[in-house]
Structure 1
Amino acid sequence: MKKQILICLIWIGVTTLTFAQPPSYDQKLGEDGAKQIATTIGLYEEEELTAYVSEVGNRLTRQLSNNPFVYQFFILDEPIPNAFALPGGYVYVTRGLLALIDDVDQLACVMSHEIIHVHRRHSVRQMKRGFWPAVLQLPGLLIGAVAGEDVGQIINTPIAVGSSFFEAKYSRKHETEADDLGVQLATRGGFDPNALSPILERITQWEEARTERVEEKNYFSSHPYTPDRIQNLNDATAGLTVQLNEMHQQSILEVLSDLPFGENPDKGIFFDSLFLHPVMDFSMVFPSGWTYINQHNAVGAMNETKDAFLFLMLADTVKSPEQHGIEVIERAHNLNKKVKSESVQVNNREAFLISTVEQVDGEEMHVHFIWIQYGDQVFKITAIRSEDFKEGLKQASLSLHPLTPSEKARLYQKRLTLVESVDAESIAELTARTNNVLSPNLLKILNGLPADEDSIKGTVKVVSERPYFDENSDD
């Protein structure tokens, strides 16, 4: 399942933390964060591309001296271009970033920057300064004690709207250090250090065009403003010479061909309040006007005042809905908590409903769980609100059904496609010939072309779109 809003994993800074913590402390922080990321955002695990990214990362980390960490490299199944690293050696790039990249040097320079953040332990240093803010959380641990760890973890995943997944609030000093040492690391690994500036410019151009917002200069920003950063990079790369490694013998574009572009329908897609999941073959309607959340392991919605949640997840399919409910009843009794339960039918499907009330900071939170047998699967739908929300749970449960032909027809998939231009054709001509769905401006940015360029030559990245379901197939 995929997010409609982005999930920020932000640790809470402890002002008493000192930098005397051993590297194992970083490793534990990173390990915990990596589990959350895999569960909530999800990884893109295409074998060839993942191996390629890991090879770039391993070539870089072999150049580190006094390295206490074992590095791991992942592709995040997320369309927005970004990269980040968790303490202890967990380095991530997104699908969206890979789509913008033209050569292996750009990828290596971005990864070098993140590796330096890990190697220099910048995240832990920032925790010492208490820069990482707390975020809104519901009492998921209390609710999870009754309903199971999965519910507690989802509710306790910090949720924020923004354009980044992991905001470590690095200081300007640490960002500059990661740039300076990162280009040196890339050079030692056999990659061109001058490639970082172009990809930073392209990311900025893409996000400005996509969001229609111009990046504003802010001295207190956690990341240096890109034009200033590029000037600093030009100074840092002056005088560096590189012997390119053998990875340059293959174009990275060959590995990127057919990469999913934009939202990945495999994880499900929201159309306003309607959620369609083609792989699991279900449709469900969530409350209108709420904020919709599509995680890797759950899909749901949150109201404007953030005191009501409704979400669906896949339960253990070995157990029946009633068996799931009985387990919760037993846990509740062991905790001296009162619950109401009943076997019900939802659209002629076997289901089991449990209701309880939690006291949170002196206020009541009404919690309802319903397990529904859906073919060979069992779905668990959870409703939480400060006032009783049983009717909302009922409406959502009754809306659950297999995809209809008209719903299937709404689902399309976009792919990054490589084409060869014909006689320096114009952008408009190439778009018409290849059925490219990007605007001329975005197509230019995707391929690193100047804004005033009207023609295009050589190998070109375009984005094609086709129905998710084959028109001649019943699947």
Structure 2
Amino acid sequence: MKRSFLFASNAAFLLLLAACTTNPVTGKKQVSLMSESQEVALGQQSDPQVIAQFGLVENPALQRFIQDKGQKMAAISHRPELKYEFKIVDSPVINAFAVPGGYVYFTRGIMAHFNNEAQFAGVLGHEIGHITARHSAQQQTKATFGQLLLIGGMIASPQLAQYGEQAMQGLQVLFLKFGRDDERESDRLGVEYSTKIGYDAKQMADFFLTLQREQEKASAGAEPIPSFLSSHPNPEDRYNTVKQLAAETQQQVGATNLAVGRDSYLRMIEGLIYGEDPKQGFVENNTFYHPELKFQFSVPTGWKHQNSPQQFQMAAPDGKAMMLLTLAPGESLEAAAQQMVQQFKLQPVESKQVTVNSFPALAIVADQVADQQQQQPQQQQQQAPAVRTLIYLIQDGKTIYAMIGASSGPDFATYFPTFSSSMQNFRRLTDADKLNRQPERVRIKSVTSATTLSQALTRFQVPNDRLEETAILNGMQLTDRLTAGTLIKVVAK
């Protein structure tokens, strides 16, 4: 056993020596199992998937803005030779992310929450920093080596193999430290890069206060995630650190007259869609409506739900059942059923042709059983399946929708009425109010006289229950004083 463990350890050590590269940011040697060409290939492969998942924001001016600023910043970065792409994707979530090889994405949700160009530039530099410092490549390398050494230990010790899952979880917690370090390094690079192209990086720190307030709003009533178990440093900690880094960087380079670009940025995001876009589907009074595809169905009371351009997901409050709606491949119901069964490795129990509010449909009950059950003779498989599903394939012209409900085998009878009720409620959307529902948009208003933010928002007819939300959107407190001519955001259709 010792010989086996030593062999695995030596193999890992030799692989480590062969994979040493120089980090472009630090100049230090580090282990990386992903070459630059592999990074580029991964980015090229991932980009179409990201665009398919979210879609691009249809705003040429904003797309030019992120591309222009991104290319300018990439040129002064530690890896200017990469071919960078910068895009704004159609998601209301406040997020920005980077893919290895030079691909950077901002959501329209985060674009709506920036209050000047300098905040945008700081986060842009942060995401470019993840690419230049090869953080994604490093995380993959750490995961690979962790798994290799763990497997070596399992070979050497059957006792350790019994706790393989727990050991893997331990490794993930161990590598969270690297995630936090990566975020701090990217914050530093965000300060450096945005300062080099002439922006005041202190504004990036102010944006972390907006993130903190959004985090508090989202987790109201829930226990906050401890900062030491988070892959991102606490927003308040980041605020203090970035403020200090910005001051030190500006002093070192002798930077003066750094740009903020508040009014120019606010005017640029005028009309940007805020929150969910109704044309992609929305929930109201326990019903999901899709104006563009012209259908609706009921959402079980109390179930949580999440919408994306590719699918609509629902989950029971106890987490024991889920449903989703998505498009099914295939030119006929039978072809779609065959592909779905193969894709999810299901064993059909029964199926029948039905009609759902004038739509032809196929109803299927199918099991997804554990591997060991599949290997047993059929007569021995008396226990309940690992997962049982109810699938309704519903055809509307050339389009086939798949509504899938799933739970554990023992719980299926409990949730079957809920599954079938939602699926049989699928119908044509004809309500003009729902079909013509318009999205909320960011509107820029000018304050006519000195006042507080709260008073100004009230004058612009912002409802009382949305005053705090709008204050966060503006990166201000409701008690902040405004001078005449100050531009602020409101949300309106």
TM-score range, shorter chain: 0.7 to 0.9
**CA distance in structure 2 between the aligned counterparts of 1:222 and 1:287, rounded to whole angstroms:** 34
Conservation of the 8 A alpha-carbon contact between 1:126 and 1:132:
no
Alignment of 1:232 with 2:244, yes or no, is no
1:351 and 1:221, CA in 2 relative to 1: closer, same or farther beyond 3 A?
closer
Partner of 1:321: 333
Q: Percent identity?
A: 25
How far the C-alpha of 1:453 sits from its partner, in A, is 2.0
**CA distance in structure 1 between the aligned counterparts of 2:304 and 2:474, rounded to whole angstroms:** 34
Partner of 1:360: 370
Structure with bigger gyration radius:
2
AA aligned to 2:243 is: N
AA aligned to 1:373 is: Q
Give the 3-state SS of the residue equivalent to 2:445 in structure 1: strand
Question: Larger deviation: 48-57 or 423-432?
Answer: 423-432
AA aligned to 2:355 is: Q
Partner of 1:400: 426
Alignment of 1:198 with 2:201, yes or no, is no
Conservation of the 8 A alpha-carbon contact between 1:421 and 1:457:
yes
Alignment of 1:188 with 2:200, yes or no, is no
1:227 and 1:367, CA in 2 relative to 1: closer, same or farther beyond 3 A?
closer
How far the C-alpha of 1:285 sits from its partner, in A, is 1.2
Alignment of 1:453 with 2:462, yes or no, is no
Partner of 1:343: 353
Question: Larger deviation: 74-83 or 93-102?
Answer: 74-83
Which runs of structure 2 are paired with 1:244-283 in the superposition (5 Å)?
Answer: 251-271=264-284, 273-283=286-296
Alignment of 1:175 with 2:183, yes or no, is yes
Alignment of 1:441 with 2:464, yes or no, is no
How far the C-alpha of 1:364 sits from its partner, in A, is 4.1
Conservation of the 8 A alpha-carbon contact between 1:113 and 1:178:
yes
**CA distance in structure 1 between the aligned counterparts of 2:466 and 2:406, rounded to whole angstroms:** 42
**CA distance in structure 2 between the aligned counterparts of 1:410 and 1:302, rounded to whole angstroms:** 28
AA aligned to 1:25 is: Q
Give the 3-state SS of the residue equivalent to 2:130 in structure 1: helix
Partner of 1:472: none
Conservation of the 8 A alpha-carbon contact between 2:96 and 2:107:
yes
Normalising to structure 1: TM-score of the pair? 0.74
**CA distance in structure 2 between the aligned counterparts of 1:243 and 1:455, rounded to whole angstroms:** 26
**CA distance in structure 2 between the aligned counterparts of 1:234 and 1:51, rounded to whole angstroms:** 29
1:283 and 1:185, CA in 2 relative to 1: closer, same or farther beyond 3 A?
same
1:225 and 1:354, CA in 2 relative to 1: closer, same or farther beyond 3 A?
closer
Query: Which among 459, 463, 468 is matched to residue 490 of structure 2?
Result: 463
Q: Deviations over 1:94-144 (max 9, x none)?
A: 22221122221211111101111111011222334449999xxxxxxxxxx
1:305 and 1:210, CA in 2 relative to 1: closer, same or farther beyond 3 A?
closer
1:247 and 1:375, CA in 2 relative to 1: closer, same or farther beyond 3 A?
farther
Partner of 1:143: none
AA aligned to 1:365 is: V
How far the C-alpha of 1:268 sits from its partner, in A, is 1.5
Q: Deviations over 1:382-419 (max 9, x none)?
A: 23333356654432222112335497299563211011
Q: Which runs of 5+ in 2 are unaligned?
A: 1-11, 17-30, 148-174, 374-384
Alignment of 1:431 with 2:439, yes or no, is no
Q: Which runs of 5+ in 1 are unaligned?
A: 1-13, 135-166, 467-475
Query: Which among 274, 282, 287 is matched to residue 300 of structure 2?
Result: 287
**CA distance in structure 2 between the aligned counterparts of 1:347 and 1:422, rounded to whole angstroms:** 55
RMSD of aligned alpha carbons: 4.0
**CA distance in structure 2 between the aligned counterparts of 1:299 and 1:21, rounded to whole angstroms:** 35
Normalising to structure 2: TM-score of the pair? 0.71
**CA distance in structure 2 between the aligned counterparts of 1:409 and 1:351, rounded to whole angstroms:** 24
Conservation of the 8 A alpha-carbon contact between 1:342 and 1:354:
yes
Q: Deviations over 1:42-77 (max 9, x none)?
A: 543433222211222111111124445332222233
1:391 and 1:228, CA in 2 relative to 1: closer, same or farther beyond 3 A?
closer
1:456 and 1:249, CA in 2 relative to 1: closer, same or farther beyond 3 A?
closer
Partner of 1:159: none
**CA distance in structure 1 between the aligned counterparts of 2:393 and 2:225, rounded to whole angstroms:** 48
Q: Which has the higher contact order (CA 8 A, sep 6+)?
A: 1
Structure with the higher helix share, 1 or 2: 2
1:405 and 1:207, CA in 2 relative to 1: closer, same or farther beyond 3 A?
same
